[in-house]
Amino acid sequence: MLPWFFDQKYRQRFFYHAILFVLLTAVVVIWSSKNLQLKPEVHWLTLINFIFLTTISYVFFAVNLIYAKKIKTLSLSVGFFTSFIGFALLTLGLAYQSDKDILLIMSSFFGSLGYAVTAYGTFRWVAYNMQVKREILMKTERDELSALLNRRAWAGDAQKEVWFAIKTESPLALLVIDIDDFKAVNDRYGHDVGDVVIKYMASLLSDKVRKTDSVYRWGGEEFIVLLPVTDLDEAFAVASKLLLSAEESMICVNQNQLRVTLSAGVAQWRHGESLTQETFRRADHALLIAKQSGKNKAVKA
């Protein structure tokens, strides 16, 4: 449950904190007993309660201080330590008499400060975890070469878009796009140039689609474009625009100028179909027809 606690390095640090806490407690109790007078009316259960809160605050401080290096912020540990001081002063203020109840006044100040700093630290901690989550998603749902979304992201997004299409009774379409004669590019210029072509086409597709559309690298030189709230004719128009943009582009790499075209299969999702299975297969078959009939064209499924 807490593997970091059982690590030898962390256990040693907790042991040091435990010794420090005991020493601090002993010093404070001895000093208070010699210099302050006990209040007779305080119930012992009240003291136990605030001693417990003081101890817990220190434990949280120790845990967060050890963990602070990982999240690169000390605000949580500082907040808990300030709260620890506040609870310690409150416990002393309840147990001992002080001039004008200065111990209780100081406990209120440190307690409020501790809560404020802890709240700020909590926001930092949440931001850190959100950042880590985004980085994990980037690694698991982004294609390393093209920076496009990958198959994993496609599977998740397809499910969401089908649900949205059913709920809103709106059309949903997809394009399966392939770079024409990509093998010839690799054979003639090498795989490094082929990688440049893939990155260029990935960037072109991302720039030319609508903001509501999503582009995925399916694998190799093949891409998928997911088109929400789009029927077959509208999807065909989008595909035609993308193919025209590719045809008009010139890729310059290693003093070579390459003109690369695309072919596309266009399909609209039908109720009862699996978007990632039946609809995709129909679009992929349309792409095959486009390839066999001359390339550089879009074909409806």
Task: Tell me which residues are annotated as active site.
Answer: 221
* Strand-strand pairing, 222-228 and 172-179: antiparallel
Residues 193, 238 contacting (CB under 8 angstroms): no
Q: Which two three-digit tokens encode residue 4?
A: 């970091």
CA 129 to CA 37: how far, in whole Å?
48
Closest CA to 178 of 234, 220, 232: 220
Residues 158, 226 contacting (CB under 8 angstroms): yes
Residues 243, 227 contacting (CB under 8 angstroms): no
Please compute Rg for the chain using Cα positions. 32
CA 36 to CA 91: how far, in whole Å?
13
Question: Token pair 């379409």 is at which residue?
Answer: 173
Residues forming beta bridges with residue 297, ordered by sequence position: none
Q: ∠ at Cα 234 (230, 240), nearest 5°?
A: 130
3-state secondary structure 1-64: CCHHHHCHHHHHHHHHHHHHHHHHHHHHHHHHHHHCEECCCCCHHHHHHHHHHHHHHHHHHHHH
Q: What sections of 190-258 are H helices per DSSP?
A: 191-208, 232-247
Half-sphere CA count of 191, side-chain side, radius 13 A: 2
